[in-house]
């Protein structure tokens, strides 16, 4: 390691099973994860020249029956991310909202530069994450006592009793 160029780029060294530090192949991918804004992000650098790629599963798109307003807001937020230059929030086949973002860290690719790039991406996406949090939190209010009586459901005051009354 004595002949290694400084500053050390992220992923250029590894700790072996025997506890010794060794050089890593410069084209090996680097993967790490972190949590920010209450979201777990998976980060990847495919090689030393590749952009930093972030991905996060933001949860399920609310069902219309569960929250029509929440679903509409979530869809609007996802559509608005199309205008971002660094990433967007997409809908998977399983109705998961998935954030994908990327940006090339400045050279040299030190740990500080890679983490600063990740922080920049998270900061750029934070307003969208906040709005999605609101969309998921919007729930249809429970039916009033009058509506439940009309629908033939017994009127139960607390949730524990309601669970026992359910068929």
4 domain residue, yes or no: no
**What percent of the chain shows pLDDT beyond 70?**
77
Per-residue model confidence as pLDDT tens digits over 3-47: 566 677 776 777 778 888 777 776 778 899 999 999 999 999 998
93 domain residue, yes or no: yes
162 domain residue, yes or no: no
Segment 75-101 mean pLDDT = 93
Q: What's residue 16's pLDDT?
A: 79
Structural domain total, the chain:
1
Q: How far apart are CA 37 and CA 9, in angstroms?
A: 27
21 domain residue, yes or no: yes
Segment 55-74 mean pLDDT = 90
Nearest to 49 by CA among 111, 106, 116, 97: 106
Owning domain of residue 122: 13-140
157 domain residue, yes or no: no
5 domain residue, yes or no: no
Segment 144-160 mean pLDDT = 52
Provide CB contacts within 8 A for 92, sequence distance 6+: 98
Averaged confidence pLDDT in the chain:
82
Q: What's residue 28's pLDDT?
A: 78
112 domain residue, yes or no: yes
Segment 136-155 mean pLDDT = 60
Give me 29's structure tokens. 């991918």
> Above 60 in pLDDT, residue 119?
yes
156 domain residue, yes or no: no
* CATH classification at residue 91: 3.30.1460
Is the preceding omega at residue 69 within 30 degrees of 0, hence cis? no
Q: What's residue 152's pLDDT?
A: 53
Nearest to 130 by CA among 58, 69, 79: 58
Segment 104-127 mean pLDDT = 93
Pairwise pLDDT comparison (4 vs 121), residue with the higher score: 121
Contact criterion met (CB below 8 Å) for 37 and 122: yes
> Above 50 in pLDDT, residue 165?
no
Pairwise pLDDT comparison (140 vs 84), residue with the higher score: 84
- Tell me if the pTM is above 0.75: no
């Amino acid at each position: 390691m004595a002949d290694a160029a400084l500053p050390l780029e992220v992923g250029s060294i590894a700790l072996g099973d025997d506890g010794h530090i060794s050089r890593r192949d410069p084209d090996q991918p680097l993967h790490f994860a972190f949590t920010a804004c209450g979201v777990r992000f998976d980060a990847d650098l495919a090689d030393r020249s590749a952009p930093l790629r972030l991905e996060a599963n933001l949860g399920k798109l609310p069902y219309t029956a569960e929250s029509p307003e929440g679903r509409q807001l979530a869809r609007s937020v996802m559509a608005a991310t199309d205008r971002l230059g660094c990433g967007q929030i997409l809908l998977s086949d399983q109705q998961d909202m998935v954030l994908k973002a990327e940006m090339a860290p400045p050279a040299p690719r030190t740990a500080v530069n890679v983490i600063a790039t990740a922080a920049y991406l998270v900061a750029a996406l934070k307003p969208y994450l906040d709005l999605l949090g609101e969309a998921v939190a919007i729930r249809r209010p429970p039916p009033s006592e009058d509506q439940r009586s009309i629908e033939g459901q017994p009127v139960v005051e607390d949730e524990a009793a309601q669970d026992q009354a359910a068929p």
